[in-house]
Amino acid sequence: MQGARVATEDVDLWFEDLTDRKVGEAARRVGGIWIPTHFGMQPPMLGGTLGDRFDVVLTMTGLDTFAAEYSGAEDMELDGVPLKVLPLERIIESKRAANRPKDRAALPALEAALAVLRDSREKKSDP
| Amino acid 79: pLDDT | 77
| Better pLDDT: 38 or 27 | 27
Residue ranges of the alpha helices (H) in the chain?
A: 21-29, 66-71, 88-98, 101-125
pTM: 0.76
| Amino acid 68: pLDDT | 95
How many alpha carbons lie under 13 Å from residue 113 in its C-beta half-sphere?
A: 16
> For residues 31 and 54, what is the distance between their CA atoms, to the nearest angstrom?
13
Return the closest-CA partner of residue 10 out of 47, 52, 50, 49. 52
Return the closest-CA partner of residue 50 out of 93, 86, 101, 10. 10
Average confidence (pLDDT) over 41-55:
67
